[in-house]
Amino acid sequence: MKITNIIIAQFLWCTVLFVPAQAQVVPKHPATDTAHVLPADTVLPGQKHPFTESQRLEGSNKRYLLRAVLPAAALMGAGVYTIQGNGFYSSFDARDARNRQTPNFSTKIDDYLFFTPIVGLYAFDLFSSQNRHDIRRQTGLLLASGLLTSAIVWPVKNITNIDRPNGDPTAFPSGHTAYAFTIATLVDKEFRHKSPWISVGSYAVASATGVMRVLNNEHWMADVLAGAGVGILSVNTVYWLNDKLAKNKGYNTTAIPVVLPTGQPGMAIMVQF
């Protein structure tokens, strides 16, 4: 990876989308403050499914084991196992197939594609009637997850010092794929209660990024598998720690469509402290 791409990748984690909005402020009165009387699994306007208890609580050790440790360990283990040409279908097999089928494949799309779910993350905030976290905490979790991913990826790259299929250094694990699955996993955790297709789309983008890294001859299949595991583990670890330390058990904000005094449609934002 060129040094400019590394710098850009690190600084883009600090990108925050600011969108002007018009909202009606809801006064805080015990009798009318619905943010304090609605249970967390209430189905609000525009929401298809309630946010269940199992979806809200990220601090469960069992949930962390099943959704983070085991999948990540399986992916990273598969990466380590296949890098030396082992297994039913090894990284060398994937490289040979690529050289036979698409020897001239080349694209720069994978340098930018994995950032697109971030746009979706903040866009969903504008239209979602009920979010897992408010936009500030989402951004904090995104930055923390990206930093943890970086703290794992770059030292491991230098320690393993495996050459890429094209001869460039520091192949294992794939940084592009790790960041792609970091973003996809965060979008999944924030919005999968809205629609499973949001998660499917995010993971599809992440997977496409990994596939293109192999087709571009930039990475071995093993690098991509391990990178995906790192991204999944990083996000789930940050959410698990956030729940343990911040005791975050429910929603921070709720947005409900309202009619403004002028007769125009608007949005009421209710914040629970």
Residue 16 lies in a domain: no
Per the structure, how many domains does the chain have? Answer: 1
DSSP run (H or E) holding 146: helix 135-160
pLDDT reported for residue 261: 65
Residue 234 lies in a domain: yes
Q: How far apart are CA 33 and CA 258, in angstroms?
A: 15
pLDDT reported for residue 1: 43
Residue 246 lies in a domain: yes
Q: How far apart are CA 64 and CA 62, in angstroms?
A: 5
Residue 29 lies in a domain: no
Give the DSSP letter string of 16-75.
--------EEPP--TTT-GGGTS-TT---TT-SS---HHHH----HHHHIIIIIHHHHHH
Range with the poorest average pLDDT among 51-60, 154-163, 184-193: 51-60
> Given a cut of 80, is residue 227 above it in pLDDT?
yes
Q: Is 234 helix (H, G, I), strand (E, B) or coil?
A: helix
> Given a cut of 80, is residue 245 above it in pLDDT?
yes
Residue 8 lies in a domain: no
pLDDT reported for residue 129: 59
Q: How many CB atoms lie within 10 A of CB 268?
A: 17
**pLDDT tens, position by position, 130-158:** 567 878 888 999 999 999 999 999 999 99
DSSP code at position 109? T
> Given a cut of 90, is residue 20 above it in pLDDT?
no
Residue 18 lies in a domain: no
Q: How confident is the model at residue 59 (pLDDT cuts 50, 70, 90)?
A: low
Q: How confident is the model at residue 42 (pLDDT cuts 50, 70, 90)?
A: very low
- Could you list the residue range(s) of the whole structural domain that residue 102 is in? 45-271
Q: How far apart are CA 28 and CA 270, in angstroms?
A: 9
Q: Is 130 helix (H, G, I), strand (E, B) or coil?
A: strand
Residue 112 lies in a domain: yes
Average pLDDT of the residues in 90-97: 92
